[in-house]
A and B are shown apart, each in its own frame.
Chain A
């Protein structure tokens, strides 16, 4: 990695450390310190885990898709998650759903989502490789279809059951189950390390199918493996806090913009760091300064959508 890149990463690391310290220790009164620290620490951990998982997953996904406008959530992943939740409520009933043991449900969700997502992305990306925009549109419409089916199931259910589903349809960093954090952290860390180890191969993959094949890369195997990794990472994040829509797009854009290189060894850590800075900083801003805890995801969605349009108009879709 060149000097500029290394300095950039170091700078981001420092900024994150500073923000985290601010988050943890600001305004800490004399009261029940241990309790407050525990609460704050849990939320901080959740934010960093989500940022790492989504940041890394989006960079990987965009390399495989050869496209800087796509993200797993745009391709229908979020809607798939909501559909799964609705189906669970439909099958188990509201009480049964809420009564599921959190740890087991978390792991089961990750497993099922990973399998479904791998299938979804694999089909879309391998079949649609020659016509990217058509593939994007397919992914988006599939997302609409999943959401409509969720709505259908939701209506067919008892309205009380439906309220349970409603609650999980949007991301919330406020209702994180701290018991899940160790598992989530472990899976995310493993996933990130695995992605890092693949950096060199990912650089070759980014050249495109023909050059990668010519250089002797086992293209199909690598693509499917990376997609499975993406599916696991996105599943962990979604199971922890819910769907985060355009966040990945912003983070990937930031990473590319800041690092100005195509090397994954630089992009992957940059994505994780910039995502964490955005989330921790943003949550601090909204929760502590503006007193509006719930608006982070709405703002991210709005900003992300505008950024997407900007990329589209700039012709970055190729």
Chain B
């Protein structure tokens, strides 16, 4: 479980998060949703220790993010941020191979290489493995970054808007792969998602944020209701039903 206690955050004097306390349950796929500027990415980045905590406490699987050595944390959680422009001229296979770094620290063994191959397969990157990052499309590069996080093989996977740049088929394939991780391999996933229907269709647990505060949290069916969503986005939103899960009709 990821436990967040009384976390507040300011960026350049502007308040971004106000005294947030919540948790991401273990063994589930949690989605963070909300309008622009709600603080979802900031919260995720704080959990993934990409930004230093200013106030409050965050523990990931019992480890205090502020106090635990960073390389230990790297074996417990993998985080994928939004900035994925890399200056290095790397082949896709080389990038994904870096996901094993926390485990081998520069001396890869056969098990590491097997994990890399599995990651490349899982995201349909095997035929592109030898190409350079700047020679493939944005979506293919995005998949390579996700494959790198996957290869890191951690209990927790934190993803900040991973579906950007992905076409429909690959977005759906990613969500299926994340569900597989949660259902069959005992992993836990936390993701910021912009297109709310991905949360509606695939998430177990949803945290809805607005203006730096948590508006609601709980199982997807409880949070993704018409009243709550209309309140979240300050606009009337209808919610339908599809195969037992909510279908948010935000586009009509």
Contacts and interface: CB of A to CB of B under 8 A. Distances in A.
Do any CB atoms of chain A lie under 8 A from CB atoms of chain B in the complex? yes
Given A213-B49, A318-B87, A207 B106 contact: no
A200 B101 CA distance: 9
Indicate the size class of the contact surface on chain A.
20 to 34
A67 B87 contact: yes
Contacts of B105: 200
A66 B85 CA distance: 10
B98 A216 contact: no
B87 A215 contact: no
A216 B102 contact: yes
A155 interface: no
B73 interface: yes
B90 interface: yes
Contacts of B74: 214-216
A68 interface: yes
A304 to B, nearest CB: 20
Given A216-B71, A218-B70, A262-B89, A210 B83 contact: yes
Contact of A213 (B70, B86, B87, B94): B70
Interface of B: 48-50, 70-75, 78-81, 83, 85-90, 94-95, 98-99, 101-102, 105-106, 145, 148-149, 152
A211 interface: yes
Interface in A60-86: 66-68
A211 B148 CA distance: 9
Nearest to A256: B89
Most chain B CB within 10 A, of A67, A200, A318, is at: A200
Contacts of B145: 211
A68 B89 CA distance: 11
A217 interface: yes
B72 A216 contact: yes
A232 interface: no
Interface in A201-244: 201, 203-204, 206-211, 213-218
A218 B148 CA distance: 19
Contacts of A256: 89
Most chain B C-beta atoms within 10 Å of own C-beta, residue among A68, A204, A208, A213: A213
A256 B90 CA distance: 12
B176 to A, nearest CB: 23
Nearest to B100: A215
Interface hub of B87, B106, B145 (most chain A Cβ within 10 A) = B87
Contact of B79 (A68, A214, A260, A262): A214
Interface in A247-271: 256, 260-262
Nearest to A260: B89
B86 A215 contact: no
B107 to A, nearest CB: 9
Interface of A: 66-68, 200-201, 203-204, 206-211, 213-218, 256, 260-262, 318
Contacts, number: 73
A210 B50 contact: yes
Nearest to B78: A214
Nearest to A218: B70
22 contacts: A68-B87, A200-B105, A204-B98, A206-B87, A207-B88, A208-B83, A210-B83, A211-B98, A213-B79, A214-B50, A214-B74, A214-B79, A214-B152, A215-B74, A215-B98, A215-B102, A216-B71, A216-B75, A216-B101, A218-B71, A262-B90, A318-B87
Contacts of B75: 216
A204 B101 CA distance: 8
B151 to A, nearest CB: 10
Nearest to A200: B106
Given A216-B70, A318-B87, 8 more contacts: A206-B86, A207-B95, A211-B86, A213-B49, A214-B74, A216-B75, A261-B89, A262-B89
A18 B83 CA distance: 47
Contacts of A209: 50
A210 B45 CA distance: 9
A71 B98 CA distance: 27
Nearest to B72: A216
A203 B94 CA distance: 11
B85 A318 contact: yes
B112 to A, nearest CB: 13
A66 B90 CA distance: 14
The residue among A204, A211, A261, A262 with the most chain B CB atoms within 10 A of its own CB is A211
B106 A213 contact: no
Nearest to B74: A216
B70 to A, nearest CB: 5
A256 B49 CA distance: 32
B82 to A, nearest CB: 8
A224 to B, nearest CB: 15
Contacts of B89: 256, 260-262
A73 to B, nearest CB: 20
Contacts of B106: 200-201
Task: Kindly list the 4 A-B residue pairs having the minimum CB-CB distance in the complex, ordered from nearest.
Answer: A216-B74, A200-B106, A216-B71, A210-B81
Contacts of B73: 216
Contacts of A216: 70-75, 101-102
